[in-house]
Structure 1
């Protein structure tokens, strides 16, 4: 499935996307701009639940709202959660996001080229350059310890923490002055190689050419061209 993304300043749903990308199998998109009617309907259904269930559902709804606010504040265009079976029969999860970062007046292509050059000159810095169909980019991957959802961070026991693998591809193109970040995060450290391949697969679908538009028609070659000569020779 190919999806188009609009610039952060475009508040109209009719605004034309400036880049497009594909979402792999097994990922479900979050609605980053849920209509007010849907929220009101959820709130109404929540109020009809028994007191204990209402409290639990309210926490989930508040968590969802907080996630949406945080994603929108960071210019995230798409967020999808992946659910895939592991070899032991359990389900592993991952989060795929696509966002844009302003270069604050600098040329985004030059920024990407400079960082990709740094990655090529210093292969041990955790970065490596990429040649994508849309142009030059680079990959950064790291393992980090982070706060996990599931417990109130203000509780006496403190927040839950866990290790995750995080991979990020940065690229840009003529359709936008911003840098585009394609990021994958998963707690399944043993599947880092698999999720790296998924991340790179998504990055390779990134395009600044509208895939829904028909391919341009090739014009008739001039009579002096090599193509015209071949047509004459072979009928």
Structure 2
């Protein structure tokens, strides 16, 4: 954010809850500054304690942030990218579905000898090579993920020479006939190294969400081993979970 915008007029909304709903729906622009708590309390004829409770809820939902300094205060947060961990999908597609403009910079693409983890994950022998691709993704011009992905070079000849700024999955399905099956993902919280922080325009040591993924084709053969680093304040991962009983009943149908 370059600095807060003039305060939003709370009288445009029937309640603080309605204001929160408007922020979540994108009807209040990021960077807009809210009036002071006492002014909000006076506007809505409620106590500052009630105002503070609603504000705390909005902070917890990452809809508001606090900025320090003379031009600081409580401002509307930038929207977060939502990543559905249940679905194997290309980044451009899910960004577009949320109203973000996607862009991508390929930092490195070439054939190399895989490390132990990639060789094991892709079930390669000691003589095999991989196509290694490192890309920086942006949503509305702001970096939000740093991706390192490796693919069996023998299965995907010439992959490094193709246009890799869009969806890799589209390239693999359209150019190489891959039928995507499922992926196995390990999600962990990590801290950004100085280089990662520089690329992602984050503070050194900033919280990142790391997604380590192995993707299989429809025959269960692994074709991708990747590690995606997401800026913790710019993305939210979510998944729908079910109880063990529900899973058991579903498997018996």
TM-score norm. by structure 1 comes to 0.26
Higher relative contact order (CA 8 A, sep 6+): 1
TM-score norm. by structure 2 comes to 0.25
